[in-house]
Amino acid sequence: MTTKTQTNDKAIEKPNRRTVLDFIKQQPLGFIGIVMIIIMFLAAVFAPYVAPYNPEDVDFMASPALGGGQPSIEHPLGADAFGRDILSRLIYGARTALSIGFFSAFFGCSLGAVIGTTSAFFGGKIDLLIQRFIDLMLSFPIVVLAIVVIAIFPKTVMFGIDVNVIVAIAIPFIPKTARVIRSQALAIVTLPYVDAARANGFSAKRIIFRHVLPNVTAPFLIMMTAFIGQAILLEASLSYLGLGVVEPTPSWGLMLSGVNSDYYRTAPWMILYPGVAVSVAVFSFNLFGDSLRDWLDPKLKL
Amino acid sequence: MLQYALRRILLVIPTLIAVAILVFLVLRVVPGDIVEIKMTAEGGIVSQEEIERERERLGLNEPLYKQFISYMVGLPQGDLGISLWTERPVAQEIGSRIALSFELAILSTILAVLIAFPLGTISALYRGTGLDYVIRLLTIGGIAVPSFWLGMLLIMGSISVFGKLPPLGTVSLFEDPLTNLYQLIWPALSVGYRYSSVVARMLRSSILEVLSEDYIRTARAKGVLERLVIVKHGMRNALLPTVTVIGLEFAFLLGGLVVTESVFNLNGIGKLFVDSVVRNDLNLLQGLVLTVATCFVFVNLIVDLLYAALDPRIRYQK
């Protein structure tokens, strides 16, 4: 691996002190990304105070089926087939998207990071075996893998969060993270302080968790940011297909799924805004993730 | 080259076997009972006896290892079992739909490459200019926009511009190529946007990387025409990682189609895939996952061979 020497050099270099202000100055696009993420996060947390209506309030008089629901002062972004306020559903939908996005990216990346560093630390046969298995996992497209997990896991909802959807989205991230983290960890396990830890007789577990894992934080954060965006996209796709979150939970993908061809003509707002919400969310995370990579580790290949 | 190619082709066999085993293992832990779901869905109350008889008939009562053996023996003969729902052979169900999905995938690849190459090259050569920023924003956007939503927007746009829906459903390519193309161009565009964005981004970054190499400076110092520097010295080397991305994305496209086919109501394997999950049709799901993974393995093979053809260093590596 060519990354070995690069990372070695980097580890020896003194990290130059950089502040949040430097990030804003050097990565203006990334700054815009994180600002949008924070706005979405706040909207999701304070949804009951921000949203004009309860997202599950049905008002059939405002349904496009009866010719109503146009964007108006009452419903700024219109109403859906049940006369529910779209803006409110979008704001509450941010809760679903962000929580599922964050948790699945976090669990997927964490497990991937542990597998990657373990693989690099032990090397030899164990490394080879893990790598072959990862190659195998990577031969399934993400959506396909996620749907298979949905098919074999019973639906589980805990604290109002769909655990099976999180698992389904997290699993495809594991092999990808494991591969990138392993290539970074390979350089770290050859450094003298890891040898010193070995010489001290520390257990493999302690060395992996205390000495190797903290040093792959940068790629971990970069990958996680990128994967939150992908997870939001995946959640929307799964819910759209009717395999993810189910009614009445407000979810951006789900809002698009009930659309039949009549609404293309009579209620385009039902299609337009949920998609904008997904795109803006994913766009923000991509923008922030890209800048984070440029800032922390420009050579990292995802 | 021949030796490398042979070695690489032989590697496909153990990979496929491993994929087959993995798929079997994973899908046999499914908790839902297909027979019960199917029978109660069709006619309400069914006796336990009848369910047992149906399980027996479908071979679901056999011990796992026996199911596994018959599965592994059947695979090389193209026998993927029968669909638990329609009771037609899985291979037949997939076979009748795969051509459509494949055509769609190839069409989007062509579109994506046609869009990505000029965008990526211009963006790299005019780095830092307004044009570069616009292209970069467009391509970051391409990764963010859900393809199924883009499909919906295309349908909406078609309604407001032409006053009618784009044609949904399909005519065979061989019966009426023009109508067929006109029908498939919309779904192809909606998945192709993301595809072209990924390729354009890769192309941009690899051109930039190559152009900073010493041999480019040498070529320029020798007074080689700038056009030749970029085409002969730059592009050829920048193509390598781009080819990989095109191949990888092609395989992942088969996944992306799962969602897009539903939007355009196309009867391809993507739609079949969703149906198989909704109906808990294990055999069909198993067959589909195997098909997609096999496609991926072969696309990978083609990419590796192409790579070796483009870059002599790879052929001689151990």
Mind listing the pLDDT tens digit for each residue in B169-215?
566 666 667 777 777 888 888 888 888 998 898 888 888 888 888 88
In DSSP notation, A229-251 reads: HHHHHHHHHHHHTTSSS-TTS--
Rounded Cα gap, residues A80 and A82, in angstroms: 5
Contact A278 B300 (CB under 8 A): no
Q: Residue A3 has what pLDDT? A: 41
In DSSP notation, B157-196 reads: HHHHHHSSPPPPS---TTT-HHHHHHHHHHHHHHHHHHHH
Chain B residues touching residue A283 (CB < 8 angstroms): 140-141, 144
The structure tokens listed for A142 are: 């993400």
User: Is there a contact between A274 and A239 (Cβ–Cβ < 8 Å)?
Assistant: no
Nearest residue on chain A to B252, judged by CA atoms?
A: A141
Across the range B48-62, mean pLDDT stands at: 68
Position with higher pLDDT, B169 vs B106: B106
Q: Going by C-beta distance under 8 Å and a sequence separation of 6 or more, which residues neighbour residue A224?
A: A105, A106, A109
- Structural domains present in chain B: 16-77 (no CATH), 98-316 (1.10.3720.10)
| Helices of type H across chain A | 3-12, 20-26, 28-45, 47-50, 86-122, 124-137, 142-152, 163-188, 192-199, 204-206, 217-240, 252-257, 261-266, 269-296
User: Is there a contact between A92 and A47 (Cβ–Cβ < 8 Å)?
Assistant: yes
pLDDT category, B166, cuts 50, 70, 90?
low
Q: DSSP secondary-structure letter at B78?
A: T
Q: Residue B88 has what pLDDT? A: 80
ipTM of the shown complex: 0.80
* pLDDT tens profile B148-161: 888 888 888 877 77
User: Minimal Cα–Cα distance from A236 to chain B, Å?
Assistant: 8
Q: Residue A174 has what pLDDT? A: 92
Across the range B116-136, mean pLDDT stands at: 86
Chain B residues touching residue A236 (CB < 8 angstroms): 146
Rounded Cα gap, residues A208 and A211, in angstroms: 6
Q: Residue B181 has what pLDDT? A: 77
The answer on pLDDT for B76 being more than 90 is no
Half-sphere CA count of B165, side-chain side, radius 13 A: 14
> Longest C-alpha distance within chain B, in Å?
87
* Element (DSSP H or E) covering residue B244: helix B236-263
Contact A140 B297 (CB under 8 A): no
Rounded Cα gap, residues A145 and A172, in angstroms: 6
Which of A40, A134, A140, A260 to mutate to probe the B interface, most B CBs <10 Å? A140
Contact A136 B18 (CB under 8 A): yes
pLDDT category, B45, cuts 50, 70, 90?
low
As a whole number of Å, the end-to-end CA separation of chain B is 12
The structure tokens listed for A219 are: 């790629």
Q: Is A243 within 8 Å of chain B by CB?
A: yes
* pLDDT tens profile B237-268: 888 888 878 887 887 787 778 888 888 878 88
Contact B156 A271 (CB under 8 A): yes
Residue A85's beta-bridge partner residues?
A79
Q: Tell me the residue length of chain A.
A: 302
The structure tokens listed for A52 are: 């004009």
Contact A261 B258 (CB under 8 A): no
Which of A148, A271, A272, A280 to mutate to probe the B interface, most B CBs <10 Å? A148
Walk along chain A (302 residues) and give the pLDDT tens digit of each residue. 344 444 444 444 444 556 777 777 777 778 888 888 999 899 888 878 877 777 777 766 666 666 666 777 777 777 777 767 778 888 888 888 899 999 999 999 999 999 999 988 888 888 888 888 888 888 788 888 888 888 777 667 777 677 888 888 999 899 989 988 888 888 888 888 888 888 888 888 888 888 888 888 888 888 898 899 989 999 988 888 888 887 777 888 888 886 666 677 777 777 888 889 999 999 899 888 888 887 777 666 66
Chain A residues touching residue B141 (CB < 8 angstroms): 279, 283
Rounded Cα gap, residues B278 and A257, in angstroms: 15
Rounded Cα gap, residues B200 and B204, in angstroms: 6
CA angle at B247 for the pair B255 and B232, rounded to the nearest 5°: 155
Across the range B15-20, mean pLDDT stands at: 84
Q: Which of A197-206, B6-15, B58-67 has the lowest mean pLDDT?
A: B58-67
Contact A290 B140 (CB under 8 A): yes
